[in-house]
Amino acid sequence: MRRALRPIAAALAALGFAVPALAAGNLNAVLESEVVFLDPHQTTANITRTFNFMVFDTLFAMDSRGAIQPQMVGATTISDDKLTYAFTLRDGLVFHDGAPVTASDVVASLKRWMPRDALGRMLAAATASLEATSAKVVTLTLKEPFPLVLQVLGKPNAIVPFIVPARLTEGPADQKITEMTGSGPFLFRKEEWRAGDRMVLDRNPAYVARAEKPDFLAGGKRVKIDRITLKVIPDVSTAASALIAGEIDYLQYVPFDWIDRLKKARDIKLMALGGLDQFQGNFRLNHAHPPFNDPAIRQVLWNLVDQKAILEAIGIPPEFRLDQCASFWMCGTPLESKAGAEAFRFDIEAAKAALKKTAYKGEKVVFMELPSSPTSMNPALVLVDAMRKAGFTVDEQGMDWGTLLQRRVKKDTWSMFAVYSNGVDMSNPLTHFYIAANCAEFAGWSCEPAMKPLMADFVKAPDDAARKAVADRIQALAYANAPSVMWGQFTVPTGYRTTLSGLVESSFPMFWEVEKK
C-alpha cells in the first residue's frame, strides 16, 4: 500500500501541495547514553540492561506492582518441602537464529550468570543441582529452602538473568559474548551498528508474545513497529531540540531546564512517573577515611539535608518530585518504611550542636563534585552550604564522572559525593547499592556487622509480610550506620511525540505495544 501511494505523493509534491510523511513503522529514539557493552551477563550498566531487555528474554519478570510473573516459563511446580522447582518452558520460544530455546540453554545461561551477580551467588550457594530434565523442563534442587527463588530469577536489577543460547556460554569464564542472538521481541542488526552514531533493532517476526496485557516487564510483548533506530546525541539540549523538530520520536531523559519548553511545544508529551520508576539521590559517604569513619559525625548529616531545597535547586518541578522521602527503599513502593526516620530532620542548629559533641576537630571533608551534571552538582552545593553553617570544613573538588570513578576506589582521597540511581535498583535491601554492599569491597566501605544476619533473615523470610518486617529492621540499622544519606526522590521525565501511542509508562524504555501514526 505504501509503495502504491508513493507515486501519488510525488505527483502532489511536484504540484506544490504539502504532503505529510508516510508512516513507515520506524521509531527514532535517544536513550540515556550510547550502548557500548552488549554482553547480558558482563556489566551492571543501565543502558546495557535496556538493550538486553529488547533482544533477550527472562524466565520471570516484574510487573508494575513489584510482583514476579512468569515470562518464558509456562508452568512452575514446587515440591511440598520447597526444595525442588520444576520450570516448564512455554511453547513458541525460538532464538533469533531459528533454533528452539531448550532447557539446556536455560541451565547454561543461569550457570554463566550466577557467579557474576550478587543475588545469583546467593541462589547458587543454596543450590544442590540445576539441570535440564527434558527438552522443556529445568529442575532446580536446593540444599535448603530459598524463598526468593522466583524473585531472583525475575529481578530487573542488573545483572539480569537473561537467557542466551548454550553455545554462546562455551569457552573461558571471562570470555565476552559478542553475538547478540536472543529470543526477545527485537533483532539486533549488527551490520547496521555505527558506534557513536546509531544502533538498529528490528521487530522479531518469530516472537510469540504472552497472552496477558503488558505490565512493566511482564506480560505480552507485541511489537507493532518495524524498526527502532537508537540515535547517539550526547548533548541533551541538542536531543531535546531534535524531539521538538520531529527528528526523533522518543527522548528517555528530558533535561529539567527544557521541561517548560517541551510542555508548550506542539505534539510533545512528557511522562511523569512515580514509585519504582522514580530515582533516588544519595550522598555516598566514605567510612574508611576521616571524618566519616566516625558514626557520630555521619549522624550529623541527617540534620543537614533539606530534600525540598535540593530538588528545587536542580529545577525539578513539583509534579516530578517528592518534597520529602525518608525511606531507604523509596516511597510508593512495597517496602516503603519509616523505621529510624525520626533521625532525618533538617535543622542546622541541631546539627551544629550535635557536631560539637563529636570528636570532629575541623578535619577536611573532601566533596567530589560533578560540574557538568546539575542533577549531581546542585545537591552538593546545597549541602555544602548547610555543612559549613554547622561547622564542617569542606574542600570542594570538581571533576568529571570518569575521574570520580577512578578516585572513589581509593580509600584516602575523598569523603563524599552526590549520585542518583534508578528506583527499581534501590527499592530492596538486596539490590540497594549501599545496603547490599555492606562489608564488601565497594567504594564507601560501609560495614555494619549486625547487618549480615538481618540480610540473611530477609532472604529466608517466608512471605512478603515477613520480608517487610525485616526490611524495617534493616532500615533502622542503616539510619544508625549511615552508609549514605538520601537527598531526594524524583522523576527524570521522558519526552515523546504524540505520533506514538501505546507506550508502557516506565523508566525502562519499552517499545513493545508502541504504534506510530
Core vs surface per residue 165-193: b (16+ CB within 10 A) or e: bbebbeeeeeeebeebbbbbbbbbeeeee
What's the fold here for domain 277-490?
Dipeptide-binding Protein; domain 3 (3.10.105)
The answer to whether 282 and 420 are in contact (CB under 8 A) is: yes
pLDDT in tens, 253-295: 999 999 999 999 999 999 988 888 899 999 999 999 999 999 9
DSSP states along 67-81? -EEESSEEEEEE-TT
CA atoms within 13 A on the CB side of 382: 23
Residue 22: the pLDDT is 35
Core vs surface per residue 96-122: b (16+ CB within 10 A) or e: beeeebbbebbbbbbebbbebbebbeb
Q: Is 2 exposed, middle or buried (0-12, 13-18, 19+ CB in 10 A)?
A: exposed
Core vs surface per residue 245-257: b (16+ CB within 10 A) or e: eeebbbbbbbbbe
Query: Where are the domains positioned within the chain?
Result: 39-169, 186-274+493-516, 277-490
DSSP states along 358-414? SS--S-EEEEEE-TT-HHHHHHHHHHHHHHHHHT-EEEEEE--HHHHHHHTT-TTS-
Min mean pLDDT across 171-175, 178-182, 324-328, 376-380 is at: 171-175
* Three-state SS at 132: strand
What's the average model confidence in pLDDT over 85-92? 98
- Kindly tell me if the per-residue pLDDT of 12 is higher than 50: no
- Kindly tell me if the per-residue pLDDT of 362 is higher than 60: yes
Q: What is the DSSP letter of 30?
A: E
Greatest extent of the chain over all pairs of C-alpha atoms, in Å = 83
Give the CA distances from residue 188 to residues 52, 119, 198, 396, 501, in Å, rounded to whole numbers and listed in that order: 10, 28, 12, 44, 23
- CA nearest 320: which of 284, 282, 277? 277
Residue 99: the pLDDT is 98
pLDDT in tens, 166-187: 999 998 888 999 999 999 999 9
Query: In CATH terms, is domain 186-274+493-516 a member of 3.40.190.10?
Result: yes
Q: Is 11 exposed, middle or buried (0-12, 13-18, 19+ CB in 10 A)?
A: exposed
What stretches of 178-306 show up as alpha helix (H) in DSSP?
236-245, 259-264, 295-300
CA atoms within 13 A on the CB side of 117: 28
Angle at the Cα of 427 (from 111 to 481), degrees rounded to 5? 100
What's the average model confidence in pLDDT over 400-428? 94
pTM recorded for the entire structure:
0.87
What's the average model confidence in pLDDT over 155-175? 93
pLDDT in tens, 465-491: 999 999 999 999 999 999 999 999 999
> C-alpha cell of 227?
524498526
- What percent of the chain clears pLDDT 70, i.e. is strictly above it? 95
Which residues partner with 203 through β-bridges? 186
> Cα 513 to chain center, whole Å?
21
pLDDT in tens, 99-141: 999 999 999 999 999 999 989 999 999 999 999 999 999 999 9
Residue 45: the pLDDT is 87
The answer to whether 128 and 143 are in contact (CB under 8 A) is: yes
User: Given CA atoms 412, 414, 416, 418 in this order, what sign does their dihedral have?
Assistant: negative
pLDDT in tens, 187-219: 999 999 999 999 999 999 999 999 999 999 999
The answer to whether 54 and 60 are in contact (CB under 8 A) is: no
Domain 39-169: homologous superfamily in CATH: Dipeptide-binding Protein; Domain 1 (3.90.76.10)
Residue 23: the pLDDT is 37
- CA nearest 413: which of 376, 385, 443? 443
The answer to whether 330 and 278 are in contact (CB under 8 A) is: yes
Residue 9: the pLDDT is 40
Q: Which residues contact 3 (CB under 8 A, 6 or more apart)?
A: none
